[in-house]
Amino acid sequence: MRQLDIFIAFFRSGMLGYGGGPSAIPLVKKEVVDTYKWMDDDEFGDLLAIANTLPGPIATKLAGYIGYRVGGILGLGTALFAAVIPTVFLMVLLLTTLTQFKDQPWVMGMTKAVVPVVGVMLAVMTWDFFKKSTSGLGWTPAIILLIISLGLMEFAHIHPAVIIIVLMAAAWIPLKRKGKKGESAEHKQKRESV
């Protein structure tokens, strides 16, 4: 049953993710977090941040990891198959059909109508992630990081993966120091008790 759930989740997001990887992210989130509850919002946000730093299409990275986590090696294969094969089939079918009618107003209207829908889905997901960051960081640091990140990506043309890696490293360093301080205090306590 679990393999069927994995297949259905990634089949739906693969079939409906019109417009590429970014448009599939909110659909994958809906399936994984809301429908099947395999992860919570925070775990999905962390996974998305890490997946964005790795090379390759985002939809297959998400499918591979989530499929493996939920169903092991078989789940990984099921999720990748469900995410990739329907998309390839639809791409061949739709591109063959749509290229024949590409100059028709209904085809041009259809492709233009999808763009705002994908934009709204991404905006809703972005707002959810921003709200989560404010609960951990507070409003002021979250807004400052948002503005700096936007400026670096849009004006300095720095790849988002570089920004994510730097922010992950910046968050990791204080945790590492905190861990060493906690370890030394624990060590000191053991020596005093002996």
pLDDT per residue over 114-138, tens digit each?
778 878 878 888 888 888 878 877 8
By CB atoms closer than 10 A (0-12, 13-18, 19+), residue 172 is: exposed
pTM: 0.59
Question: Can you give the pLDDT at residue 69?
Answer: 95
Say yes or no to pLDDT of 10 above 70.
Answer: yes
- Whether residue 22 lies inside any domain: the answer is yes
Number of folded domains that form the chain: 1
Q: How confident is the model at residue 39 (pLDDT cuts 50, 70, 90)?
A: very high
- Whether residue 148 lies inside any domain: the answer is no
Domain extent for 90: 2-115
- Whether residue 171 lies inside any domain: the answer is no
Identify which of 64-73, 82-91, 163-172 has the greatest average pLDDT: 64-73
CA distance 105 to 123: 28
CA distance 183 to 119: 47
